[in-house]
């Protein structure tokens, strides 16, 4: 298979049309209804955050609460700004910390995971199978489960109160290696052989042959890492106020009680926009990558 | 003369091949190294360390002292709260786990009937809660115990209740609230994998099925789709186990930390309680080991079940 054929195959996979046959209209309708009800359940809380962010104070405390905004206002955002201005550390500092940690972790994870995935997918070496099996098993253990043990190790390595304590656990996550390895499995060996005959070394092949053809996979791995670290409040690891990240201010705003419902919604809205936009822009590539996510044995 | 030459030649060729193979192995390991080192430090070592520390009494400040099986004995015989959180963990796992798993699959299947544009919007709607992270705090407003709580005010408006209900503070409701939030959050990587899996099934399989007399979508689902999706189903199961046994952040933020009377706590939050509040790391590690074992056991059980069903 040439590179072009490989790409066509991927494109073909991406746009498999719906398989309509032997469908009854009644069942179509019922399934659509079921989907719609569940969809409302999913979207309602998010919708509630969006409207609360734009509601003036008197509408927030209306009984019963409305599902729309009569007089949209930016008051909550102004109030949020005021709260943030009165904080000991300027808002820009939290933003800087969050962006720094997120960018380093996401880029680091994509590079480290794809570098490890290439030999696992395409080379033969002793220990390959056992490592692959450990990866599948380790998918079970997320940061939530490893919380305390990881904390103990980070403390022993004197990583507490450094950005690394947030970054490194994300960089090493197995999900990225697993997805990359699966996706790279589809790359035709002939493509790699051709590069080898041209005298390219393995690192060169990884960078200039493998990486360009697994673009969907690294976008997917990037979005997983991004959403993982962007949403972490880091409260356990960073106690120095000037090093804290954005989600940690959410709890500070929320701690102001019910009068801050509007401001709290505003901050939640601001925080949820980046991952949602990032995902929607890369959704096609994400789904394409997930096609190969199955566990085969 | 010629023969020695040939053999010499073969030898060089072989050496070169050997050398090349050796170099390739070396480059394989080199490429693997950065990840493998980090993975060892942040996953393997923590797991091994918690097994080791589970036999000690350790408060982070002093050196751990060996206490044998004391922690395990305490957990099984003396700790009544452990029974409570263990029960809750199983409720979370065996309610949200199967519900989310089956729902993820059915939703992905329904979404697949639509055109790519509509499909991508449905995908976003169901995946958005997982993306939005800390937004689950909004559930505390929805389930707030006063008149302003979203659910309370609507129920009162329609006359279904007279007094506001303290959903989160009341230990008989809090678990239900947390289960709802967890299901809301559970359409994650497994769900995406299902969506992708449906798109990856070869159309000719369905055509062949129609010729063989498959009459409706349910038969199609049962005889063609599910068997072709085994790998995705296995992946989804792993994701589901990892999220429903590991649930802790949601409980902390929505239910309170700890929830009243530990009514909504799981082993996950109980570990955090011992680790970050009481600084009894030895006991926290014992709890972690128990959680690991339950997860690995459940995973191997489900893998076996799925594989047997598919092979039949």
pLDDT tens for each residue of B286-302 = 999 999 999 999 999 98
- What's the first-to-final CA gap in chain A, in angstroms? 25
- Count structural domains, chain A: 2
Give the tokens for residue A110.
Answer: 């994509």
B59 lies in a domain? no
What pLDDT was estimated at residue B261? 82
Q: How many domains does chain B have?
A: 2
Q: What is the pLDDT of residue B134?
A: 77
Task: For chain A, positions 256-285, list CB contacts with chain B under 8 A.
Answer: 258, 261, 264-265, 268, 271-272, 275-276, 279-280, 283-284
Range of the domain at B29: 2-53
Shared domain for B97 and B241, answered yes or no, is yes
Based on the fold, state whether residues A46 and A86 are members of the same structural domain: no
* B185 occurs within a structural domain: yes
DSSP one-letter string for B132-178: HGGGGGHHHHHT-SSTTSHHHHHHHHTTS-SS---TTTSTTTHHHHH
Confidence class for position B310, pLDDT limits 50, 70, 90:
low
- For residue B157, CA distances in Å to A52, A63, A66, A67 come to 20, 8, 12, 14
| A257-266, B30-39, B168-177, B232-241: which is most confident | B30-39
Does residue A295 lie within any of the structural domains?
A: no
Residue B230 clears pLDDT 80, i.e. is over it: yes
Q: Using 70 as the pLDDT threshold, list the residues of chain A that sit under it.
A: 1-22, 297
- pLDDT tens per residue across span B84-143: 999 999 998 889 999 999 999 999 999 988 888 999 999 999 999 999 877 888 888 888
One domain, residues A20 and A57: yes
Neighbouring-strand partners of residue B66: B56
The answer as to whether A45 is a domain residue is yes
Averaged confidence pLDDT in chain B:
86
pLDDT in tens, A213-256: 899 998 999 999 999 899 888 888 888 888 888 888 877 787 77
Instruction: Judge if A257 and A217 occupy the same domain.
Output: yes
Distance from CA of B176 to the nearest CA of A (A): 15
Q: pLDDT value at position B192?
A: 93
Stretch B61-75: mean pLDDT: 91
Among A115, A280, A290, select the one facing B34 at the smallest CB separation.
A115
Domain span holding position A167: 74-290
Question: Mind listing the pLDDT tens digit for each residue in A21-51?
Answer: 567 788 888 999 999 999 999 999 999 889 9
User: Rounded to whole angstroms, how far apart are CA atoms B220 and B228?
Assistant: 11
Q: Are B41 and B81 within one domain?
A: no
Predicted confidence at residue A18, as pLDDT, reads 42
Q: Are residues A149 and A286 in the same domain?
A: yes
Asked whether residue A35 falls in the same domain as residue A161, the answer is no
Q: Which residues of B touch A139 (CB under 8 A)?
A: 238-239, 242
Is B142 a member of any domain?
A: yes
A187-196 long-range contacts (CB < 8 A, ≥24 apart) are A187/A6, A187/A121, A187/A122, A187/A213, A187/A214, A188/A1, A188/A2, A188/A6, A189/A122, A190/A1, A190/A2, A191/A1, A191/A2, A191/A3, A191/A6, A192/A122
Q: Who has greater pLDDT, B35 or A11?
A: B35
> B59 at the A interface (CB within 8 A)?
no
**In a shared domain, residues A38 and A92:** no
What is the ipTM, given to two decimal places? 0.86
B67 within some domain: no
In this structure, what CATH number is given to the domain that contains residue B121? 1.10.3720.10
- pTM (predicted TM-score): 0.86
Within this chain, do residues B209 and B292 fall inside the same structural domain, yes or no?
Answer: yes
Q: Which of A49, A73, A97 is the last residue of a domain?
A: A73
| Three-state SS letters, A156-175 | HCCCCCCCHHHHHHHHCCHH
* Same domain membership, residue A164 and residue A66: no
Q: Does A286 touch chain B (CB under 8 A)?
A: yes
Residues B248 and B291 in one domain: yes
pLDDT of the residue at A135:
93
Instruction: Please identify among residues 4-23 of chain A the ones whose CB lies closer than 8 Å to any CB of chain B.
Output: 13-23
Percent of chain B with pLDDT over 70: 91
Contact B189 A224 (CB under 8 A): yes
Nearest residue, CB atoms, A231 vs list B120, B133, B238: B133
Regarding whether B171 and B271 lie in a shared domain, the answer is yes
Look at A61-65, B79-83, B184-188, B233-237 and tell me which has the smallest mean pLDDT: A61-65
Residue after which a domain boundary falls, among A32, A57, A73: A73
B20 and B158 fall within a common domain: no
* Confidence bin at B15 (pLDDT 50/70/90): low
């Amino acid at each position: 298979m040439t590179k072009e054929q490989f790409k066509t195959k991927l494109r073909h996979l991406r746009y498999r049309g719906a398989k309509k046959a032997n469908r009854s209209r009644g069942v179509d309708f019922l399934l659509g209804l079921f989907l719609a009800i569940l969809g409302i359940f999913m979207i309602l809380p998010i919708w509630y955050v969006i409207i609360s962010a734009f509601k003036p104070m008197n509408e927030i405390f209306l009984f019963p609460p409305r599902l729309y905004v009569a007089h949209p206002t930016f008051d909550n955002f102004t109030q949020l700004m005021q709260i943030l201005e009165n904080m000991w550390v300027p808002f820009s500092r939290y933003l800087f910390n969050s962006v720094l940690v997120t960018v380093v972790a996401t880029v680091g994870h994509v590079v480290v995971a794809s570098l490890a995935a290439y030999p696992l997918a395409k080379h033969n070496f002793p220990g390959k199978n056992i490592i692959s099996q450990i990866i599948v098993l380790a998918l079970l253990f997320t940061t939530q489960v490893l919380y305390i043990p990881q904390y103990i190790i980070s403390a022993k390595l004197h990583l507490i109160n450094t950005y690394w304590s947030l970054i490194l656990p994300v960089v090493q996550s197995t999900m990225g290696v697993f997805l990359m390895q699966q996706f790279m499995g589809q790359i035709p060996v002939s493509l790699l052989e051709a590069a080898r005959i041209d005298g390219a070394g393995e690192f060169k092949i990884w960078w200039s042959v493998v990486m360009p053809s697994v673009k969907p996979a690294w976008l997917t791995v990037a979005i997983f890492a991004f959403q993982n670290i962007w949403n972490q409040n880091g409260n356990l690891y960073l106690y120095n106020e000037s090093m804290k990240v954005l989600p940690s201010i959410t709890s500070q705003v929320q701690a102001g009680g019910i009068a801050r419902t509007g401001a709290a919604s505003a901050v939640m809205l601001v925080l949820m926009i980046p991952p949602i936009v990032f995902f929607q822009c890369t959704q096609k590539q994400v789904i394409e990558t997930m096609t190969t996510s199955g566990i085969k044995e | 003369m010629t023969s020695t030459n040939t053999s010499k030649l073969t030898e060089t060729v072989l050496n070169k091949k050997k050398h090349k193979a050796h170099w390739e192995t070396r480059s394989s390991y080199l490429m693997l190294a950065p990840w493998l080192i980090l993975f060892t430090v942040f996953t393997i070592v923590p797991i091994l360390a918690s097994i080791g520390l589970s036999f000690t009494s350790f408060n982070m400040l002093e050196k751990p002292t060996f206490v044998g099986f004391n922690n395990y004995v305490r957990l099984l015989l003396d700790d009544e709260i452990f029974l409570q959180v263990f029960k809750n963990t199983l409720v979370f796992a065996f309610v949200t786990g199967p519900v989310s798993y089956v729902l993820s699959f059915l939703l992905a299947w329904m979404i697949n009937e639509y055109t790519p544009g509509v499909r991508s919007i449905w995908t976003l709607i169901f995946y958005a809660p997982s993306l939005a992270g800390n937004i689950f705090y909004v559930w505390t407003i929805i389930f707030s115990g006063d008149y302003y709580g979203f659910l309370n005010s609507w129920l009162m408006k329609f006359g279904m209740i007279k007094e506001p209900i303290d959903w989160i503070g009341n230990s008989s409701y809090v678990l239900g609230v947390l289960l709802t939030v967890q299901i809301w959050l559970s359409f994650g990587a497994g769900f995406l994998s299902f969506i992708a899996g449906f798109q990856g099934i070869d159309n000719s399989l369905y055509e062949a099925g129609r010729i063989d007399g498959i009459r409706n979508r349910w038969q199609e689902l049962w005889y063609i789709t599910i068997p072709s999706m085994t790998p995705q189903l296995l992946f989804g199961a792993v994701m589901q186990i990892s999220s429903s046994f590991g649930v802790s952040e949601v409980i902390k933020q929505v239910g309170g930390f700890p929830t009243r009377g530990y009514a909504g706590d799981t082993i996950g939050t109980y570990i955090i309680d011992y680790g970050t509040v009481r600084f009894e790391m030895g006991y926290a590690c014992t709890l972690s080991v128990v959680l690991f074992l339950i997860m690995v056991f459940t995973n191997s059980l489900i893998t076996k079940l799925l594989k047997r069903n598919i092979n039949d």
